[in-house]
Amino acid sequence: MKDKKSIPSIEVMEKMSREERQKYLDGRLRELVAYAYEKAPAIKARFDKAGIAPSAVYSIKDLEDLPILRKDELVELYKANPPFGGLVTAPIEDLERVYVSPGPIYDPHHQSESFWRRHVHMVKAAGFKKGDIAVNTWMYHLVPAGLMIDEMLRRAGVTVIPMGVGNTELQVQVMHHLKVTGFYGTTSFFMNIINKAEEMGYDIRKDFNLRLAMIGGEMGGGPIRELVEKKYGIATGDAYGTADVGMIAYECSEKNGMHIAEDVIIEIISYETGKPVGPDEVGEIVVTPIDETYPLIRFGTGDLAGWIEEPCPCGRTALRITRLLGRVGDAVRTRGMFIHPRQLEPALAGFSQIAQYQAVVTRSGHRDELTLKVELKAEDGIDKEKLTQQLIKAVSEAVRIKLDRVEFVAKEVIPEFHKLIVDERVY
């Protein structure tokens, strides 16, 4: 990839006004589209099919008619045109590494400076600096995760111990012996290590030097992060990325949403209308990384988020997205409308008498029926008739179709870890 000399430094970019950033990204997008159209046959074919001439693209809005590139289409492209599906603009001998993801999809290892500076920037924003010693427990073979995080940490001046997955007891010893200060991995694996360390008789606060754990990426990690911070005194951080495009967004010290990484364009697209969402709405994260080696223009991640409009107190001007709110596939289409767990949560948050709930979609004749199963904290003193009416009103307003009934269920009918909406229709 040919990085331009005119690219501003990250420090300058962090403080750019929205207009300046827009102008910069529009310029980068135009270069990317022109380059990809010329060098990536699959991208050319997609543009041609959509009737979009690269010369007509000035901004991401001009790509609204270009269908979102989904993972299953990516797999098809790789199958149809091996080895790289017509998507990688460099010949294989110019690539340092090729990763193998399920499909198989062959993701090129990125060599561009703008790719790495965006990743290094995120490591620094998380609070890592020279002198830190980090264990990286992401997988080091086949997929990009382990090696990519390894490289971005080293480029940020951090000493890396390439642990990979597993060997929990050894992980504990290494963290203790080498006075490790940072951790990269999944939330659940981090907790395995912490639990193992305590089992082995270590006191996390006294016997370890851990100060920062990057344990995001998993849904519902909020309470665990809180536990890690309060009980063990270890700061936690979150970032968001995918195997295909690398890191996309990152948390700053405010820990309220994630800033879009520099040199990445994000759209949030409604799964109902296919158009950009308005304020307070949720949609799919569609990403266009400025990456000429692997120009996945309008790549659909399948992850859901919303925008945070307010400026961030940290001073970075890059827009923020909310933490991930689920997968596109979690929405259940009912009577022509998509119902998503995200819509139920705020509607039911005020009902303190409810312990657990689950919406169930069934089919009766030709009609979808929506039932809300409710487990009460206690039965005493509850006017179920009145509560039913209140729930029907609250849920119907939130999901925009009528809730047919409320069913009060005994304890443990709804399992502890459950989907908030299940589809039990049989056709």
Give whichever of 156 and 321 is closer to Zn ion, judged by the CB atom: 321
* CA pair distance 324, 356, nearest whole angstrom: 22
DSSP string for 201-230: T--HHHH----EEE--SSTT-HHHHHHHHH
Site size toward Zn ion (CB under 5 A) is: 5
277-316 residues in contact with Zn ion (CB under 5 A) are: 312, 314, 316
Tokens of 362: 């069934």
Q: Which stretch binds Zn ion (CB under 5 A): 220-228, 247-255, 265-273, 340-348?
A: 247-255
- Shortest Cβ distance from residue 59 to Zn ion (Å)? 25
- Shortest Cβ distance from residue 321 to Zn ion (Å)? 12
Give whichever of 241 and 300 is closer to Zn ion, judged by the CB atom: 241
Site string for Zn ion, 311-350 (x = CB under 5 A): -x-x-x----------------------------------
Is position 252 an interface residue for Zn ion (rule: CB under 5 A)?
Answer: yes
- Shortest Cβ distance from residue 314 to Zn ion (Å)? 3
Give whichever of 63 and 258 is closer to Zn ion, judged by the CB atom: 258
Give whichever of 314 and 414 is closer to Zn ion, judged by the CB atom: 314
Strand locations in 229-385 (E): 235-237, 239-242, 246-250, 258-260, 264-269, 283-289, 299-305, 307-308, 320-321, 332-334, 337-339, 354-364, 367-376
The number of beta carbons lying within 10 Å of the beta carbon of residue 410 is: 9
Residue of 198, 199, 254, 407 interacting with Zn ion (CB under 5 A): 254
- Shortest Cβ distance from residue 229 to Zn ion (Å)? 18
Largest distance between two CA atoms of the chain: 73
Q: Taking a C-beta distance cutoff of 8 angstroms, is the pair 286, 269 a contact? A: yes
Give whichever of 93 and 310 is closer to Zn ion, judged by the CB atom: 310
Give whichever of 259 and 373 is closer to Zn ion, judged by the CB atom: 259
- Shortest Cβ distance from residue 198 to Zn ion (Å)? 33
Amino acid at 65: D
Residue with tokens 């919406």: 359
Q: Taking a C-beta distance cutoff of 8 angstroms, is the pair 321, 308 a contact? A: yes
Q: Taking a C-beta distance cutoff of 8 angstroms, is the pair 247, 239 a contact? A: yes
Which residues make up the interface to Zn ion (CB under 5 A)? 252, 254, 312, 314, 316
